[in-house]
Amino acid sequence: MRVRRLAGLVAVLLAGSALTACRSQPDVAAYLGDRRVTTAEVDAIVQGVNAEADRRLAAFARARATDPGTLPPPIVRTTGTEVVSLIVLADLGHRVIAERGLSERAAPADTIAETFGMPPADPYVVLWADYLTGLQSVAAAEQARPLTDDEADLLYDAGAADPDADYDAAVYRFKTQVNLAPLFGARRRLAAAMEGADVSVNPRYGPVVLPVVLDGRHLDVGFPDGDGVLFEEG
């Protein structure tokens, strides 16, 4: 996917507490306290995004057939896991902002819309804007520093480097990017917020991931016990 970098993104798996059996309806994608996110809501967003991607690809193929120099449009695809993660992590991000008294840094929907080539009011764009508002607000309170060896390794293993890049060179580059460290700090804050929180995810959509668009790549940096937020379907 050809996209601009959205600053402040590192993908992670988050740990959390399991949900009791009384809150495990199969038509619920996630519980956020008293709020229920239904599978129908999630699936509608996924289908809308992916149908638009198919339409753009077909139009691009037709245009390329008559003009080989035609540039591809933004092609965005998503999954139920990503959509649920955007919803869950937006909620957690706003909780951390409130609990720590942080300043909220609103993510511009217009910029996200331009990146994805979608209208600012598109539900998927709205989800990203809400999610990034929480994430970058939490990250802004964290300190810049060189990444640790383990953190740099996580980025490399997640595919943040070019597939042909030398391992040592790639890891060295990650370790010198001090602007990435606040994202790992935000990852820890969100993981801590998940601990004991009344948030859980249907295993059809889990585990939760922190979606990322970093240098045009989608990443999922592993986090221990990421399936802790899943509930048992009953």
Q: Which residues of 209-232 are buried (b: 16+ CB within 10 A; e: fewer)?
A: bbbbbbeebbbbbebeebebbbbe
Q: How many whole angstroms separate alpha carbon 88 and alpha carbon 41?
A: 14
Q: Beta partners for 32?
A: 35, 199
Report DSSP letters for 23-51, one per residue. Answer: G--TTEEEEETTEEEEHHHHHHHHHHHHH
Residue 148: predicted pLDDT? 87
- pLDDT at position 192, please? 84
Q: What is the pTM of this model?
A: 0.82
Q: For tokens 């221990």, what's the residue?
A: 224
Structure tokens at 9: 């993104």
Look up tokens 């009011």; give the residue.
121
**Which of these, 170, 210, 191, lies nearest to 84 by C-alpha position?**
210
pLDDT tens, per residue, the chain with 234 residues: 434 334 333 333 343 333 333 466 889 999 998 899 999 999 999 999 999 999 999 999 999 999 999 999 988 899 998 999 999 999 999 999 999 999 999 998 998 898 889 999 999 999 999 999 999 999 999 988 888 888 888 888 877 888 888 889 988 888 888 888 888 888 888 888 887 678 888 999 878 887 877 666 656 554 444 444 555 443
Closest to 94 measured CA to CA, from 189, 30, 13, 8: 189
Angle made by CA atoms 47, 50, 52, in degrees to the nearest 5: 105
Q: How confident is the model at residue 24, as a pLDDT?
A: 67
Determine the pLDDT at residue 18.
34
Check residue 137 and give its pLDDT. 95
- pLDDT, one tens digit per residue, over 83-112 is 999 999 999 999 999 999 999 999 989 988
As a whole number of angstroms, the distance between CA 171 and CA 11 comes to: 17
> Residue 20: its pLDDT value, please?
34
